[in-house]
Structure 1
Amino acid sequence: MDLRKVINVFLAFVAIILSSCATSNAQLQVGFYNRSCPLAESIVKEEVLKALYDDPGLAAGLVRLHFHDAFVRGADGSVLIDSTSNNTAEKDAPPNNPSLRGFEIIDAAKSRLETECKGIVSCADILAFAARDSVLYSMGLPYAVPSGRRDGRVSLASEAMSNLPPPFFNITQLTQIFNGKGLSQEEMITLSGAHTIGRSHCSSFSNRLYNFNSIVSQDPSLDPSYAEQLKTQCPNGSTNASIVVPMDPNTPTKFDSNYYKLILANRGLFTSDQTLMSTPETKKQVQVNAYVPLYFQLKFRDAFVKLGKIGVLTGNQGEIRINCRVINS
């Protein structure tokens, strides 16, 4: 990296530090429950840490749960609602079922909070707190979560299908869908870094191994040795839903910048990962995130907070659900 690039990275780093001092938007505020339920964030953190002690991989599940919530109807806890006999909810849409996990942790925190301060803390805020605590547990940076969200009363599988970016999207499609949520291309690349933790079912990337297009069966942008490794884990035609593959095989439970180093080595697991190398500008962002890890961590913190502000319900909108899985009657 030449001197000019180093200076640009430094200036961007300073800008992030300064922007982190700005107050949250008027809809949400840090410390929203300081008076109404002072132990709210502590209770959520205790339940998260208890669960992650037994299964560190659930940290990625909670981060993904918050992302999938925010991208459909905004961060309103609608992804937590169970399906009923006359409605298929978001959690049961193909992008979410069976891969989403961590619901029981939200349930446990909500149960304790209803005992501590009944009807005060929203499920949407619990999910935002839990995602933050999961990033921290995985060695990401600590950050304050603006809260005051209220819970939505609608959850539709069809909306999950139309709003969540699939793993086969290219750079143009990803940029468009993130722009539609008020997020820039750079924020999209930064938030994609959450793939540094977690796992995937074979069905999300097997087309890159066996059925890429009419000309070649294997995606030529995928490192051949990595492809062979993936084939041993995901045999052609296998429908075994219990098989999962780490998205970052080197440090699967550590929130680091290794994800971007894998992309530079043509070892991004999804098409939507490797496509970040498609243009000179996006490639440069991947390189900077890979080799200036603190810069990536700071950008992720700010982008993740912004994600949690998408389409929030506040004031008298929505409700405070008593049970995160069921709307109030």
Structure 2
Amino acid sequence: MCMSEDNVIVVKGLRKSFKKLTVLDGIDLCVKRGTVLALLGPNGAGKTTTIRILSTLLLPDGGQAQINGLDVVKDADKVHRLIGLTGQYAAVDEYLTGRENLHMIGRLYRLSYPDIKRRSQELLELFDLVEASARAVKTYSGGMRRRLDLAVSLIASPPVIFLDEPTTGLDPRSRLIMWDIIKQLVAAGTTILLTTQDMDEADRLADKIVVIDGGKIIAEGTSDELKQRVGSERLEITIAGTSSFEAATKVFDNDGDGIHSDGKRRTLSLATEGGVHHLKQVLSRLDEAGVEVENVSFHRPTLDDVFLTLTGHTTGQQPDGEAEKNPPQQEART
């Protein structure tokens, strides 16, 4: 499947370890031209390590990764001309103005001055930064810095862009602006590999989703395909504070893997296709156990449900010892 000429990014058996910690354990993935692939996973799952290897910032221990048929290790210089990278933190010079940041990176890409001037203006307009373009970046808000950071990665019009959690820390309005810009880039033919812990972001932007946990791919498909793995609906029950939450969970000890509990929220989540009939059964079992229910709700599966079902924890959690121990590095642009 990954041998198709339509696949711009191809990864086969990629492996990476830091001392005794295995971060990537032989992952395979491919991204079609002009699409968005979202790489989902908890902290330490290997998402950023994958991005760093693909963007030539980190050498793999094994396997192969190609961008447009070019090996990211053997052909690193050629790969640089094809990619743009926006990391988790804005990598712009805060003492330069927004326009000066764009001009500086354009010169590093060896673009002609007329091209730098034209492209900078296009990007400032696209990212709604024209009015702020003459101000030092240190005066920008967090959302403005993130938009400028993405603009800088686009100065040379790369056909492939890596976005490593691009909307982390943004307010809702700035996040929507970023999403709109990403959609415009894809509509123009750009190929994007996006890492995120925001399930809504993946749902809205991704043509395909790959779920990674513990350095391995545990599921992949479209958003709808992954949701179908959870079931048509989930029943969520909030246990009253006057009842024992432990007693409530024991009621469903023999019901298999479809049950998930959240002690902090005092909720039980159950896969269901029985509707009201199933609800009556569940409430009856809890009542027999002397457990009082505070609230009941039905909801259709979300990507959060998918991830919880597949891994047993949310995207923000990680099992002990699975932190991604990449040494801090300056993000490379060229």
Bigger strand fraction: 2
TM over 0.5: no
Bigger helix fraction: 1
Higher gyration radius (CA): 2
**TM-score (structure 1 length as normaliser):** 0.26
Q: Which structure is richer in relative contact order (CA contacts within 8 A, separation 6 or more)?
A: 1
